[in-house]
Amino acid sequence: MTRSELIAELAAAHTQLRDEHVETIVAAIFDGIAAALARGARVELRGFGAFSVRRRDPRTGRNPRTGEAVSVDAKSVPFFKAGKEIGLRLNAGKTAGTDRKKS
């Protein structure tokens, strides 16, 4: 689902809100999460999951085209851990072993 699809779906579900208001609300939520992560804070949305920042150490990578070794600097990356409720909703109605491909 894209951002615009999310806005359209929320606007359709909440007809009392104008599309522009829904767009402003979604933007404010995303901006708030991004600002908190930029400060190094953890953002937890109960029943959904938690966003945090993880540090990646410097390493030596490879250029996929040439195979040449390339130095990759240390960096911070966003990380999302889904909450228990999301996992339960994704797997509702499934029995053990039914999500595997049979060969």
Domains and CATH numbers, the chain: 3-90 (4.10.520.10)
| 3 state SS of 64 | coil
Measured from the Cβ of residue 52, the count of other Cβ atoms closer than 10 Å reads 16
pLDDT digits (tens, 9 = 90+) for 59-90: 999 999 999 999 999 999 999 999 999 989 98
| 3 state SS of 54 | strand
| 3 state SS of 62 | strand
Tokens of 50: 């938690």
Measured from the Cβ of residue 22, the count of other Cβ atoms closer than 10 Å reads 19
pLDDT digits (tens, 9 = 90+) for 6-33: 999 999 999 999 999 999 999 999 999 9
Q: For the chain, how long is the longest CA-to-CA vector?
A: 58
